[in-house]
Amino acid sequence: YEGALDAADVAVVFYSPDAVKIKQLEEVTYDQISESFKRKDLIIFTNPEEFKGFLYEHHLKESALLLMSSGNYGGLNFDEIQGLL
């Protein structure tokens, strides 16, 4: 993933340890994620409520918000998030 978030002003990764368990994948650590992206300022969330709080705390009007996932961000309500933009 190195370089994938280089153009982002704020780089954030959300992953669900529960989804990793359900998919019977090997556990992923914060250090592994941080090292993969090679960004010292990378913000990592595993709790959907904390991630949602982070989004609400930032002024997102007239911003480009890119969310990519193989899941549902721990049940995050995207209609709510859309209202922030």
CA gyration radius for the chain?
A: 13
Residue 2 located in a structural domain:
no
User: What is the model's pLDDT at position 11?
Assistant: 93
The residue segments making up the domain with residue 70 are 12-82
Residue 56 located in a structural domain:
yes
What is d(CA 85, CA 83) in angstroms, rounded to the nearest whole number? 6
User: What is the model's pLDDT at position 8?
Assistant: 92
Residue 4 located in a structural domain:
no
Residue 7 located in a structural domain:
no
Residue 1 located in a structural domain:
no
Binning pLDDT at 50, 70 and 90, where does residue 10 land? very high
**Helical H runs in 1-85?**
17-22, 30-37, 48-57, 78-82
What is d(CA 56, CA 49) in angstroms, rounded to the nearest whole number? 10
User: What is the model's pLDDT at position 20?
Assistant: 84
The total number of structural domains in the chain stands at: 1
